[in-house]
Amino acid sequence: MREDLRPYWVKKCYLKIAHSYTRHFLRPRCANLDMHEMIMKPWCVKISGPNIHIGKCFTAVGEPMHPVEIGVWGRKPGLGTIRIGDFVLLSPGVRISASDEIIIGDGVMMAHGCYVTDSDWHTLHDRTRRSPTTTPVVLENNVWLGDGVTVLKGVTIGENSVVAARSVVTRDIPKNTVVAGNPARIIRTLDANLGYTTRGELFSDPSSVLSFYDAVDREVLSNNTFGRWILSMVWPSSLK
């Protein structure tokens, strides 16, 4: 990864613009979006539909080719719900699509390209309608979905469980387990007595976390100049 050549003040301006975008364009699209969110490239985060509730210290990382998408397409106007707990992390390319109800607990982490849905969206023999049966999805606290995981309708994943990369979850997963495969199966049981360090602990004092990151930026970017930064964008080979 190339060195960040932005001067400190340029990065601070960028962060203010990103925060303003979140406040003016993303927050109104949510039923609620609690404080201390960290949404990186918020213009690459798509939120649509009613009844989307997001807890505190929410982190989402959007990318132009891999946006984060959170959407409710209810059976009727105003129906359908997504509830996202506190301290949740959504990586680039994550899609959460609810017909009826998706509940995501505190401290859940989703790696690149995960897909979570509570519906097939069409029945096998009538491709014009959904099944009348509702099949909510629940990800309990501290669940970790690896790269490219798919979680399908009617599934509950127990707290602290880990789903390995590229797995497809089609049935309930008990707590404190590691699962893998298509369909996902238990490959290991975790020892809950060893305890877990969660994102909730990392963000127990959000102001201190933000101050720490700001101090790191101030130190790392302090010697960068505006001219060299501009040169790196228009003529990057000159810096080799």
Report the alpha-carbon angle 219-221-223, nearest 5: 95
Alpha-carbon separation of residue 236 from 11, 63, 125, 163, 229 (angstroms): 19, 22, 56, 40, 9
Find out whether 106 and 55 touch, Cβ atoms under 8 Å: yes
Helix (H, G, I), strand (E, B) or coil at 174: coil
Residue 36 bears catalytic tag: no
The answer to whether the bond into 183 is cis (omega within 30° of 0) is yes
Find out whether 167 and 55 touch, Cβ atoms under 8 Å: no
- Selecting among 66, 112, 122, 125, the annotated active-site residue is 122
CA 189/CA 31 separation, integer angstroms: 37
Active site residues: 122
